[in-house]
Amino acid sequence: MKKLFLFLLGIVFLTSCSSDTQESIKYDDTSIVTNSMTQDQLMPKSTIDPVLKQLYVEMINSQSYIDYDNSRVAFYEKLGDNIPDSEMDSENKMLTWIQNNITQTGFQNYQEAVDKHEDVVALGIAAIEANLTFHEYLAGAAPGALIPILDELQPVPTRCSGCVKAYNNCVSIANSEYGTAMQQASQSFTEGGGVFNYSNQRGYTLSTDNAYYDMIRSVKMCSIHFEACCEAA
C-alpha cells in the first residue's frame, strides 16, 4: 500500500508538471488514467481551525518537541532507506530487520539502534505530556482539521517556479496522509486513557513515529520529482 501511495505521488507530480490541456495520461499497463488538474482541484481549500493551529505551532516550537523531533530525524537518518515498508509495520519488525541488516544502516551495532530508538520513544512521550492539550484537541477536531495547517506551514521552494505547483500538490498529498494518521492515532490514544497510561503513551508515540516516517519518505519522493522537473525545465 505504501509503495502504491509513493507511486501515486509520482503520477500526481507528473500530471501537475504537464501542460494545462485536458489530455489524458496513461501509464503502461497500470490502467491508471488521470487528467491534468488545477492546484485547487488537487488541494481543496479548507477552513483552518485557529485553535488547533495555535496549539500545533506552540507544540512544534516547544523545546520538548524540538528535542523529540531532532532525535527521530537522527534515528531515521541512521536507519536509511533500505528497510522495506513491510518491516516498518511494528517496532519489533523494524528492530529485527535492523539486527539482521545492520550493515545496511548507519548504526554501529544493534545495541546502538535499540538505545537510539528508546531515546526517541522517551522523548516522544515527554513531548506528548508537555503538549497534551494539542493531542486532546486534535482527537475531537473536525475530520482532516490538521491537513490545511500542515499545508499552510509547509515551506515553498523559491526556485524553479514552473515546478513549484507540482511540488506543493505532491507534498499536500503526503500531508493529507500524515494528518489523517495523526488524528486517528490521537483519537485512539485519548479513548484509551492515554493521559495516565504509559503503555498507551508508548503506543501513541510509535504510531505517530510511523506516520511521520511515511510522511518523510513521501516528501523526499516529492523532492526527487521536483529536482527532475527543475532539470527538465
**CA–CA dist 49, 56 (Å, integer):** 11
Count of other CB atoms within 10 angstroms of residue 206: 18
* pTM exceeds 0.85 for this model: no
Residue 157 has pLDDT above 60, yes or no: yes
pLDDT tens by residue, 87-138: 988 999 999 999 999 999 999 999 999 999 999 999 999 999 999 999 999 9
Exposed, middle or buried by CB within 10 Å (0-12, 13-18, 19+), for 94?
buried
167 CB-near residues (< 8 Å, 6+ apart): 13, 156, 157, 222, 223, 225, 226, 229
Cell numbers found for residue 98: 535492523
**CA–CA dist 206, 125 (Å, integer):** 10
Q: In the prediction, which pLDDT does 196 show?
A: 61
Cα atoms found within 13 Å of the Cα of residue 204, Cβ hemisphere only:
31
pLDDT tens by residue, 18-50: 433 333 222 232 222 223 333 443 444 568 999
